[in-house]
């Protein structure tokens, strides 16, 4: 059952041309476009890591939300009612499949930037970076699943996704420093996992010994979001979250 769901998610994900565009081509264009205007080696490293994480957001949150929504509308998930698979197991299968593809996409963007800007990672640091990116992709994929459970249509998916994207991107140092930003912006950014993922990714390049606290925080967000996605999972497109009996996860 696990491999059937896993393969199905891989195949349908690869057919999602819009998500592939916004997670590969758009970040690559952004990487080169901004790189032409900001030629500082330090900023180019921040640009590379920021672009990789932006790609992760597009692929994991909106890409997952739309894929789950479309499959639910086709009645695919109604078949799960006759299987012994729990909500939690199904959510894990979906998030793991999307995470595997997300890591491949991250690797493509990272390789392009490293070659273009002559940035190199020691093998140990690269391994830690890969682990953090895998954890972050899993976290945001679970977030995308949760968004799909909340939304009743594609317009609501866009609305909820933007409500997540805007404070996360503007409240973290993904592309710019918040050193002179108002304190309330920094505080708001600390409520989202992207802030800790950005810090963890960049610290993994300089001092892998300092990355554990950020891994712990992102792990906590990941576990919470996976359980939220499982708890709010809907088999039917017409099913609402309000006034319904929640199944065991």
What is the residue-level pLDDT of the chain in tens, covering all 249 positions? Answer: 556 666 776 777 777 788 888 888 999 998 888 888 877 877 888 899 999 999 999 999 988 999 899 888 888 787 777 777 788 888 898 899 889 999 999 999 999 999 988 888 888 889 999 999 999 999 999 999 999 999 988 999 999 988 988 888 888 988 888 888 888 888 888 999 999 999 999 998 888 888 999 999 999 999 999 999 999 988 877 766 544 444 455
Q: What is the pLDDT of residue 56?
A: 93
DSSP SS3 for 67: helix
Q: What is the pLDDT of residue 241?
A: 58
Residues in the chain: 249
DSSP state of 153: S
The radius of gyration of the chain's CA atoms, rounded to the nearest angstrom, is 18
pTM of the predicted structure, to 2 decimals: 0.88
Nearest one of 171, 164, 183, 154 to 225, comparing CA atoms: 164
Cα 72 from Cα 174, distance rounded (Å): 33
Q: What is the pLDDT of residue 246?
A: 47
Q: What is the pLDDT of residue 157?
A: 92
Q: What is the pLDDT of residue 243?
A: 42
Cα 67 from Cα 19, distance rounded (Å): 10
Q: What is the pLDDT of residue 242?
A: 46
Q: What is the pLDDT of residue 16?
A: 78
CA 109 to chain centre: 15
Cα 33 from Cα 29, distance rounded (Å): 6
């Amino acid at each position: 059952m696990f491999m059937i769901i896993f393969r199905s998610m891989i195949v349908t994900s690869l057919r999602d041309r819009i998500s592939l565009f916004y997670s590969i081509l758009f970040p690559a264009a952004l990487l080169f476009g901004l790189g032409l205007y900001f030629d500082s080696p330090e900023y180019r490293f921040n640009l590379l890591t920021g672009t990789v994480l932006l790609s992760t957001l597009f692929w994991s949150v909106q890409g997952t939300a739309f894929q789950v929504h479309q499959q639910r509308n086709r009645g695919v998930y109604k078949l799960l009612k006759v299987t012994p698979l729990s909500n939690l197991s199904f959510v894990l299968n979906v998030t793991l499949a999307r995470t595997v593809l997300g890591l491949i996409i991250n690797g493509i963007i990272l390789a392009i930037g490293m070659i273009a800007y002559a940035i190199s990672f020691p093998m140990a640091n690269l391994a830690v970076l890969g682990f953090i990116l895998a954890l972050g992709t899993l976290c945001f994929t679970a977030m995308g699943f949760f968004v799909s459970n909340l939304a009743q249509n594609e317009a609501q998916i866009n609305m909820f996704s933007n409500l997540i994207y805007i404070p996360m991107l503007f409240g973290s140092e993904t592309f710019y420093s918040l050193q002179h930003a108002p304190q309330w912006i920094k505080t708001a950014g600390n409520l989202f996992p992207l802030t800790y993922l950005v810090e963890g990714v960049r610290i993994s390049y300089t001092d892998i010994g300092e990355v554990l606290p950020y891994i712990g925080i992102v792990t906590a967000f990941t576990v919470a979001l996976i359980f939220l996605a499982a708890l709010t999972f809907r088999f039917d497109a017409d099913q609402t979250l309000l006034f319904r009996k929640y199944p065991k996860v």
